[in-house]
Amino acid sequence: MRVIDKETAILVVDIGNTSLTCGVYYRDMLVWHTRMQSLKEKTSDEYFSVIKSLLDDKYLSKIKFVAFASVVPEMTRIWMHLCQKYLKAEIYLINAYSDLGIKYLVSDPGFIGADLVVNAYAALQKYHTNCIVIDLGTATTVQVIKADGTFEGTVIAPGIKTGSAYLFEKTALLSEIELVAPTKLLGTNTHDAMLSGIIYGHAFMIDSYISAIKRQYASDMELKTIITGGMSDLVAPILSFINHVDKTITLDGTYLALKRLHEISKD
């Protein structure tokens, strides 16, 4: 079995339906990360060409382990082939069956996405308390993980870009707009009105969920709220209850999960 030592680099890959994020950890630090489109049409050779062009060879040559948190099986197969062909790395697939000490309230947690699992695990390891974790991706998820490792459940809603794309598609008189921070609550033109509806509307939904969750658990525990995901910078300033914006929590959770599973496998 390979050993994780101070000269070992670890590649982690978070594969979503719209985008994927890669990160390299070296000496317990995230030394490089990038985001790219999640395209099933690309081959493993094409993806590796992108990675090689972006990642310093001093890290690329040291990668001995790879961990995946993926919700797209076809993309997982492409990237596993990449890792086997070019990196000769030991591969870990993180999912709800991984032995991470997380307790689920269902007998078979297999339907729970890998992104939710690694976000929950990272929250436990990084914040050591009860957490609400909001992830703004293709879907927006709101989940609760208790300090004792109990995964209480999650909410899955259309993401900001997903919802806005549907709006643009179904409304003939509304043109697609760039999603930026709105400058006013009530728009006096179509552009500002749409921007407010898309960004503020999403923020108000999240705030309402956080408020309801806090009321539900008020007698049992305090809850720290963490937001992540590609659109978090747009929404976080509007939210009322956010404690941390953690843009790397998914990568961190995948990395920390690999380290735990590797330690368990040595016993």
Pairing of strands 29-37, 103-104: unpaired
Over the stretch 234-249, which tens digit does the pLDDT of each residue have? 899 999 889 999 999 9
Q: Report domain 103-247's class.
A: alpha beta
> What is the DSSP secondary structure assignment for residue 3, as one 8-state letter?
-
pLDDT attached to residue 177: 64
pLDDT attached to residue 173: 44
Domains 9-93 and 103-247 belong to one CATH topology: yes
Asked if 153 contacts 161 with a C-beta cutoff of 8 angstroms, the reply is: no
Cα dist. 258→8, 92, 198, 222, 232 in Å? 13, 7, 37, 29, 26
Task: Determine phi and psi for 116, rounding to 5 degrees.
Answer: -65, -40
pLDDT attached to residue 267: 65
The token pair that represents 50 in the structure block = 């992108």
pLDDT < 50 regions, the chain: 172-173
pLDDT attached to residue 168: 63
Give the start-to-end residue ranges of the domains of the chain: 9-93, 103-247
Cα 15 to Cα 114: distance, rounded to the nearest angstrom: 9
pLDDT attached to residue 195: 83
The structural architecture, per CATH, of the domain 9-93 is 2-Layer Sandwich (3.30)
Q: Other C-beta atoms within 10 Å of 258: how many?
A: 27
Asked if 198 contacts 179 with a C-beta cutoff of 8 angstroms, the reply is: yes
Nearest Cα neighbor of 135 from 42, 28, 250 is: 250
pLDDT attached to residue 163: 65
Active site residues: 115
